[in-house]
Structure 1
């Protein structure tokens, strides 16, 4: 019979940012967002819209997807991420969220996101070591958009 080891107490980290909500090719408006990471949900990052944009809810997607998106275009389906592209005048990390018949493009400051992942989330749960922290007895959280208004 397998031995059950209690999971360690959850730890978390958040990053508050002003994201650029892309309205057109050259137009955007600042929207406050929070990136969150919890060691008891080690595979996912949560992107929460704050303030007047809070109705857009909370989106959960893979932390690996966010990290990979800082290096190269990544993702399929509801969440896609593109790295900064200085050659085209876009210095930010771009995230596309698709759900409920709508598409939202966000630009996030890539240096802050990269620093947060490296200095805050990776020390909590190093990449590749998430498995033992997963609680297999509870249903998994949805990794796409799970808007909570």
Structure 2
């Protein structure tokens, strides 16, 4: 799934069909300079294949990035992604304990470090509680989707 970038506010979510986590991320500016920023990961059961990474506070202008939940899952274990979103797991041998995410947009790139344990725990305990891994297709009303495409 290609990454989608938007600056619009999220749609209202029915209770019990979404989950989110607020995290302290670090934007990597150079090898020895970083900026701490708040971000929010969100997941909605009515959009079962995607997660949303929203920039908050002073970095809110970077908007919201939507990308594959599977990409996030894979990136926690091994380097993943080929397009606008790339993810690398922690690398203790190089002294990097965080999950690294690179976002490429038309205005440039952002390199983020995120707390690995919190992301992994949220993904497993929260998003997979809403829609278990491997059952994402069951959460979509395919007849409605097909009707929308053929109308």
TM-score by length of 2: 0.83
Aligned length: 133
Larger RCO: 1 or 2 (CA < 8 Å, sep 6+): 1
In the TM superposition, residue 35 of structure 1 has moved relative to its aligned partner by 0.1
Match of residue 139 from structure 2: 133
Matched, 1:32 2:32: no
Pair 1:88–1:42, CA change in 2 (3 A) = same
Aligned counterparts of 1:10 and 1:16: Cα–Cα separation in 2: 17
Matched, 1:104 2:110: yes
Higher helix share: 2
Provide Cα deviations, 1:41-97, integer angstroms capped at 9, x if missing partner. Answer: 000000000011110000000001001000000001100000000110110000000
Structure 2 gap ranges (5+):
1-13
For residue 50 of structure 2, the aligned residue among 44, 47, 51 is: 44
TM-score by length of 1: 0.84
Pairing 1:1-149 to 2, within 5 Å after superposition: 11-136=17-142, 137-138=144-145
Q: CA RMSD in A?
A: 1.9
In the TM superposition, residue 9 of structure 1 has moved relative to its aligned partner by 8.1
Aligned counterparts of 2:117 and 2:110: Cα–Cα separation in 1: 21
